[in-house]
Amino acid sequence: MSKKTIIFSIVLIVIGVTIFESRILNEELVQAETVATTSVEETPQVQQVAVTATKDSVEAQEWVISVYDDMMQRISEEEGQDWLLMSAIAYNESRFKSNLVSKQGAIGLMQVMPIVGKQFNVEKENIADPETNIRLASKLLKQIDKTLKISPAASADDRLSIILACYNGGIGHVSDARRLAKSNGEDYNSWEVVARYLQQKADPAVYESELVRHGKFTGSRQTEAYVREVMKRYDVYQRMVTDKQI
């Protein structure tokens, strides 16, 4: 056998081994990816949350909204809030995940901002504690209600919707919207009216007005959706409890 033939044979063997090893490697990678995907899909979440209110006992007709029901009821009673409303807020804010931290820095079940904790003398590292978190949210809602001075003649839905809009979008932007509505002779205690002026705060012709103290606002759609979803879930929880009591 000539030297050229031997070299050529060796090259073929090397190429063959390389291709074979490559195929094996690719098959192993595919298997690894399949196992990884299966593991992610089948691994149960560490924290189970109540996506919707579920029946806990058919015989007792007891309903469970979340694992925080007892805590919600106790703190809400102490703070003068409706625990069903607080639960509806918690669902929309965090899906009842006490360890959730948003990109904006909001913390816990009720997505409380550190500045709110500071306002009520609570250190940032303590805000995630469920009891502390719920209590801070309750105090914030009361403060918003007191600050807004909504007319007693306003409907309960309008009042609550405006308060929720402040909780989500900021009391400053909502106050600007109410101020604009009032200046134009419209009902600034109506959520429908306030929502319309919140939308207008994305327009330079509006947010550069002297009446606007908190600048541009581009989150009106998000805030309107938030108010709508919390109100809808709150209504569901109320009807759920009413049906249970009948």
**C-alpha–C-alpha distance, residues 15 and 165, integer Å:** 68
Q: Tell me: the pLDDT tens digits for 121-146?
A: 999 999 999 999 999 999 999 999 99
Arithmetic mean of pLDDT over the chain = 82
Rg (CA), the chain: 28
What are the angstrom distances between the C-alpha of 32 and each of 23, 35, 36? 14, 5, 6
Work out the pLDDT band at 242, boundaries 50, 70, 90: confident
Percent of the chain's residues with pLDDT above 90: 72
Q: Tell me: the pLDDT tens digits for 194-234?
A: 999 999 999 999 999 999 999 999 999 999 999 999 999 99
Supply the pLDDT for residue 245.
63
For residue 190, give the amino acid letter. S
Q: Where are the domains of the chain?
A: 1-43, 47-144, 149-246
Q: Tell me: the pLDDT tens digits for 154-204?
A: 999 999 999 999 999 999 999 999 999 999 999 999 999 999 999 999 999
Supply the pLDDT for residue 243.
73
Do residues 230 and 224 touch, judged by C-beta distance below 8 A? Answer: no
Supply the pLDDT for residue 46.
29
CB atoms within 10 A of CB 217: 24
**Beta strand spans in the chain (E):** 54-57, 62-64
Q: Tell me: the pLDDT tens digits for 86-120?
A: 999 999 999 999 999 999 999 999 999 999 999 99
**C-alpha–C-alpha distance, residues 65 and 116, integer Å:** 26
SS3 at position 107? strand
**C-alpha–C-alpha distance, residues 195 and 185, integer Å:** 15
Return the C-alpha torsion angle 136, 244, 229, 104, nearest 10.
Answer: 30
What are the angstrom distances between the C-alpha of 151 and each of 17, 145, 179? 83, 11, 14
**Topology at the third CATH level for domain 47-144:** Lysozyme (1.10.530)
Work out the pLDDT band at 244, boundaries 50, 70, 90: low
